Structure 1
Amino acid sequence: MILNATVGAELEGARLDDGLKALFPQLSKTEIRRLIDWGSCTINMALVRVASRQLHRGDVIALGLIEKERCLDLVYTAGDMLYEDRDCLAVNKGIGINSQRTPYQLKGTAEYAVGCYLRAIGLNEEARIVHRLDRGTSGVLFFPKNKKAATHIAGEFKAGRVEKVYWAVVSGTPAEEAWQVDAPIGKLNKFRYGVMQPGKSSVTNFRVLARGAGSALIESKPLTGRTHQIRVHLAHSGLPIIGDVNYGAPPAERIMLHCRRMAFKGPSGQQISAEAPVDGTFCAICAGLGILIEPTGDETGND
């Protein structure tokens, strides 16, 4: 929910936190300061994170209300890196974490945490977004360390030269061991996409890795980069991803989609690749369906 207000003459010169308390009395001062700190407040469409900022008559305020459970103090250290060299790094983004900042959340996003990490290792660089994972999708997320690398990696994604491998656990029994979906994707509404004409050309290769009780673990390789591509193409195949209720799947503790591996050629010609282990929730849901995942990392660890 987003709260909106315009500062009147009675709040001219007031501190931001005091003004927000007057404008939105249903919120406590502690909650207001938390929201300011987490990047949830804009004044005249500009982010403001200083509670003592002075208000002026006519200031247009927007305050995004973030659920407390989404306010995770995400921190990355060198030990969290799936891959790192002088040009880029990769992290294993957890479920429930936004890849990049939203209009009303800065802290608690992978972008913010990577930016803090870059400064901690002595780089005066911002965290640049070159690709994204949905909030409910876990796995490999790459960040460049400089502008040159960002331009190169973004070009690799645009040209389709990045190998992307996802794991998805679907509801249903695939009729084939491997198949390809070549079907255009378009936007149905704010939250859903679908196979439609006209739509953007979209191609995904699928392969069964393991079968369970009315389910299967699928390796998905998108050859194009459309929003919700794997989710849409699996639903179109009659195999929605478990937990993806927007696309007709049964509910679960998480959407069972994980970016397992990414690989591409780096700015200096080096081969770059990162593989992310799945989390404990993913493994537990698989085990409950009779799908056993061979451990290759910390799959048995915490989320």
Structure 2
Amino acid sequence: MAATADGNFLRQFRDLNTREFKQITANQFMDVWHHYDSNGDGYIEGKELDSFLKELVTSINKEDVGLEVVSETALKEAKELILNAFDENRDGKIDIAELAQILPTEENFLLLFRRDHPLDSSVEFMKVWREFDTDSSGFIEADELKNFLQHLLKQKNRQNSITDEQLTIYTGTVLQLFDRNKDGKLQLSEMAKLLPVRENFLCRPVFKSANKMTDDDIKRVFGLYDRDGNGSIENEELNGFLKDLMELVEEGQAADGKDYDEEDLNECKKILLDKCDLNHDGKINLDELTMVLMSYNRSSSESECAKD
């Protein structure tokens, strides 16, 4: 979809009479996203964000608000207002879910991006992943994604309000929005963008400092992953722990975010169990988790010292 004659991409979605945004369909939302996320890194940020905000303000009416009359001060104020209202994680960028809150997106499609009830943990995420990766390929393919989206809408009591054709459109649109490497399926890190968790437990400050970590701290984090309370972190509990650990280790290493798939997770599991599973039972007990966390914190502290 092309921009209007004056170059403002968003004006085409305004009602000429009311100057309000018309309801944006799933396909139109995808067009808007790809237009402003010009480098494809999964965020509208920096110059992209400036361009989006400028066109958002000046798309109201070209006779009333021209490009030349919008001051830098006004744009800065608009940016602060929008980020304060919609930048939920306060990272100074707009992601796909946040854009869906800014624009008047088609209601059923918008529900796929609601974050009112995120998953409690990465353990729960891995259980959902395993449920919908029905062929155990290590990816969520188009038919599996369609079943997942149908499940989401059913949870929100909207399953009967959309047609199969709409669901197919939603599936294709979501796949194009989140499939960053364009292989036609979602890997773990891509699905994690669509289905966020409430918290990565390993990002709590206490677990990033070996000097401050106590036995009680380690017992607390053990309990967060040992969801069934059987004294071991195993199966999807272990996969959830590894997902959090990979995100923690990879955080900040790549400018375009954290990319990993199930092969990476399995490789991480193999290394972890080889080095830390002292009784070779394929699980992690409290003593073994203590060794993992202390080892990570020690290496993190050494890295910080090297920077200094």
Give 1 or 2: higher strand fraction: 1
Question: Normalised by the size of structure 2, how large is the TM-score?
Answer: 0.24
Give 1 or 2: higher helix fraction: 2
Of the two structures, which has the highest relative contact order with CA contacts closer than 8 Å and spacing of 6 or more? Answer: 2
Question: Normalised by the size of structure 1, how large is the TM-score?
Answer: 0.24
